[in-house]
Structure 1
Amino acid sequence: MKQKAPLYLFLLLIVVSPMGIDIYLPALPQMANNLQTPMANIQTTITLFLAALGLGQLLAGPLADRYGRRPLILSGLLLYILGSAVASLAMQIEILWLARVLQGLGTCAVSVGVMSGVRDSYSAKKTANIYSYINGVICVIPALAPMLGGWLSETWDWRATFYFMAGYALLITLIALLRLPETRPANTISSPKLINWKQYQPILQSQTFRFNTGLVMLAMAIIIAFVSIAPVRLMVELDLDPGTFSLWFGSNAIINILGSFTAPLIIRRLGQARALKLAISMCTIAAASILLLQDVESPIAFMGPVFIASTGFCLTLAICCGAALAPFSERAGTAASLLGFFQMAGASMLIGILNFLPIGSLQLMALFMSLPLIWYAMNRRKPNYEACEN
């Protein structure tokens, strides 16, 4: 018989995901110097983490249904601890890459287990509020973790950030062993095959799903690109110290928090179709602004356009995630895992490819900010958002 898991434990568990990215960002230049490798190789550690997080969803979902949420979460935590330990001992960039893949796969297992556990433990009405709390935690961590990471890397060195990740995950593992019940319902259906490609066909054939998922992926690419480019622009090119970088980086997390809370109000006032146009317009304005201000040697010249694009990002996710899943009430889990795959792995792979373009960091950031407009213009048949709302 399934049991209800405590909310505080879900919130503690979900922290491993944003922490795996944000806490070590202030140490990126130090890592490049210590490992004697180009900054681009260090930035790749972010892309690999997110790619593993996205790709792993195709497997983690079926595993959660077949074996249960608790085994998946505990296995993910152990994998995350292993990856953190390997990263802290890495003397070569290739070992660090491997460690980040392990961390990403572990994070994926924990995240899927948490999302499934929330669905199992709470009513449909309560679930919406729980997911809001989880998203709030995910947005808060980028505001706090870089400051902690900057202090750790300045007081000791970059390896201390991975020690902290391993220590936190170990503590949460001990709490989970004592307090995390199995929440999987007895009537859960699992496919004989862990990955059955035929179950994805009807979803991928939906123009509504493709259009909205494409926008979710491109909006996420803006945020991932910011996470990757910000240390280079602010600490290398503008010579900010790790502490000041953390304050600027954290300020965008605050913008995301405000954007997440105000997005429903904007959508209610404008409707989904007009609100989406506003979101894409904001990303486009941000792209133009960052190019116009590229010769201004000031953090605000970079972060100002990022603030605008981040607000557009919050609106896009609020509209398009629900619209992408709306036609698939009978297979919402499969559709959600596919959406998550494109959102994380697709965005990461896109960034990995475009990073090879021979352009500067600001031009690259502007390119990512302009992609939602290009995708919107390419799709002449737009979904009926009023129908999605009903």
Structure 2
Amino acid sequence: MNNPRNGTTVLSCTLVFLAQLGSTLCLPVLPQIGNDIGLTEAIASLSLVVFFAGCAAPLLVWGVLADRCGRRVAVVTALLLFSMAAGVAANAATPSVFLAARAIQGVGAGGMAVLGRILIADTASAADLAKRMSLLSFTFVLALGGGQFLGGVIQDFFFVAPSFYDDRSLGNCPFLIHSMHSHFSPRAIV
């Protein structure tokens, strides 16, 4: 794991995995989350649409931010948006605060997904690019199914609604930020 490309691949896969968990971990218990904060079923379902709209809206902006401010600043910004909005969503008392927080969390998740790919493109050779991008795709698919399974297990065994907004997302941020110090390409330090 001394090869900086390996560290960048792990960081990129972790970013993509967390971003995808933001949408899948709560799916099995979305009705329970809705009941807990007084959401109708329609508004609870709308939280996914709002999350994905947040992901999609600023996709091009993340690349510009990464080029102008550096990869590290962009990744930290995406992680902070994702985690801080997660905390707000977890403590939301009204549907409008919950939906706004989900939109902002989506902005962070979209940034994490885009920046994971940018980091791979920065560090992979042409011959290695397809292999590393396929690892990102595998990570995405793993989180897609695994997040729903994990959400159901958490609810069934711990009798709580799993929350992609709780300490799991916040707890991963220091690991990711620390990892970035030694695994960015020279271009990323700009």
> Which TM-score tier does this pair reach, normalised by the shorter chain?
0.7 to 0.9
The residue number in structure 2 matching 1:181 is 184
The residue number in structure 2 matching 1:101 is 103
Residue 131 of structure 1: how far off its partner (Å): 0.6
Aligned mates of 1:124, 1:29 — CA distance in 2: 46
| Residue 59 (1) aligns with residue 61 (2) | yes
> Which amino acid in structure 1 is aligned with residue 179 of structure 2?
A
Change (3 A) 1:109 1:183: farther
Residue from 76, 82, 85 that aligns with 2:84 = 82
Q: Deviations over 1:47-91 (max 9, x none)?
A: 111111111112111111111111101111111110111111112
The residue number in structure 2 matching 1:158 is 161
Change (3 A) 1:74 1:176: farther
Asked if the contact 1:83/1:102 (under 8 Å) is kept, the reply is: yes
The residue number in structure 1 matching 2:142 is 140
Asked if the contact 1:87/1:99 (under 8 Å) is kept, the reply is: yes
Aligned mates of 1:123, 1:36 — CA distance in 2: 51
Secondary structure of 1:86's counterpart equals: helix
> Which amino acid in structure 2 is aligned with residue 40 of structure 1?
A
Secondary structure of 2:166's counterpart equals: helix
Unaligned runs of 5+ in 1: 189-390
Aligned mates of 1:184, 1:112 — CA distance in 2: 17
Q: Deviations over 1:2-61 (max 9, x none)?
A: x75532222122111210111010111102222222111011111111111111112111
Asked if the contact 1:9/1:176 (under 8 Å) is kept, the reply is: yes
Length, aligned pairs only: 185
Aligned mates of 2:139, 2:17 — CA distance in 1: 7
Q: CA RMSD in A?
A: 2.3
Unaligned runs of 5+ in 2: none
Asked if the contact 2:11/2:180 (under 8 Å) is kept, the reply is: no
Alignment of structure 1 residues 248-267 onto 2, 5 Å: none
Q: Deviations over 1:281-338 (max 9, x none)?
A: xxxxxxxxxxxxxxxxxxxxxxxxxxxxxxxxxxxxxxxxxxxxxxxxxxxxxxxxxx
The sequence identity of aligned pairs, in percent, is 23
The residue number in structure 2 matching 1:149 is 151
Asked if the contact 1:81/1:165 (under 8 Å) is kept, the reply is: no
Change (3 A) 1:17 1:181: same
| TM-score (structure 2 length as normaliser) | 0.86
Alignment of structure 1 residues 1-390 onto 2, 5 Å: 4=5, 6-154=8-156, 155-158=158-161, 160-184=163-187
Change (3 A) 1:28 1:149: same
Aligned mates of 2:114, 2:43 — CA distance in 1: 29
Secondary structure of 2:165's counterpart equals: helix
Residue 127 of structure 1: how far off its partner (Å): 0.7
Asked if the contact 1:89/1:159 (under 8 Å) is kept, the reply is: no
Asked if the contact 1:22/1:145 (under 8 Å) is kept, the reply is: yes
| TM-score (structure 1 length as normaliser) | 0.44
Change (3 A) 1:150 1:168: farther
> Which amino acid in structure 2 is aligned with residue 114 of structure 1?
G
Tell which structure's C-alpha radius of gyration is larger. 1
